[in-house]
Structures are given as structure tokens and as C-alpha cells.
Amino acid sequence: MLRKLAGALTAIFLLALAVPASATGPRVDLSIQWNHTNSPNIVYSYTVTCDPDGGTGETDWYMDIWIACDDLRQAGGDLDQMNGLLGDCAPTANGTLRTRITGTSYGQPVNRDERWPDWNCLRRAYGYLFIF
């Protein structure tokens, strides 16, 4: 009897370990906003979630959410590591585009407010998070 109980408890424990991370929510959950700095009152926004992949970026902006999530997975969820996947580019103090990215990525908080000189630079830095 004890042997069966121990076996059942072991099986339950092993199943609990096998539950994927997405069972507790997405591994990446980002809210993204952008606007042209000469139009600060016109702000565009969308969401990106990964594992499971989805968000309003897919439906509202027709972005390839799976590619954006693959970029994030390749970078281990670190947005700084995404810079360089398509070529290096850095934000500037007086760029023409402003971006705000908030949320969580692989358990780490994300809170970025940056300015970019142009779309090409922004897309080189963040890849498919801004390609739609």
C-alpha cells in the first residue's frame, strides 16, 4: 500500500515538473507604444506575448508575431541582446521616433522609454517587434 502511494506521489511530482512555463502565463508580456516626436498626442500601441505567442500586434498591426517571439527567444528574452540581430543601432537623445516598452520578459521587468533617429535604426535594434 505504501509502495503504491509513494509511486503515485512520485508520478504527481514528476508531472508537476513537466508543466510548461506557459501554464502560468506567457513568458513574455509586453505593452508597446510608439509615436513620432513631432506628434506626441498621436500614440500607437499594441501588445506582444510569447509562449504562447500572440497579442494585439498580430491582429491590429499584422505583424509576424511568431518571428518577433523567435527573436526574443533567440535573445533569451533580453531586449539588449536583440540589438545586433539585424545590425547595431542605438537610441538617440533627440530622435524622431519615441518608443515605450513595458511589461515582463522571462521573469524580468521591462520599462524602456527611448528615442530613435528613424525606422531603420529602430528595426535593427528590436527586429520584428517593430516590423509590421
- State the residue range of the domain holding 83: 25-130
86 in a domain, yes or no? yes
Domain count, the chain: 1
Query: How many whole angstroms separate alpha carbon 91 and alpha carbon 75?
Result: 19
The domain that holds 120 is classified in CATH as 3.30.350.10
Cell 522609454 locates to 113
> Which amino acid, one-letter code, is at 47?
T
In a domain, residue 60? The reply is: yes
The answer as to whether 11 is a domain residue is no
Longest dimension (CA), the chain: 74
Q: Which of 1-5, 37-41, 102-106 has the lowest mean pLDDT?
A: 1-5
pTM as predicted: 0.76
Query: Is residue 94 included in any domain, yes or no?
Result: yes
pLDDT in tens, 101-114: 999 999 999 999 99
Determine, yes or no, domain membership for 5. Answer: no
For residue 44, being part of any structural domain is answered with yes
Q: pLDDT tens across 6-27, in order?
A: 444 444 444 343 344 445 778 9
* Inside any domain, residue 115: yes
How far is the CA of 53 from the CAs of 6, 13, 57, in angstroms?
38, 28, 11
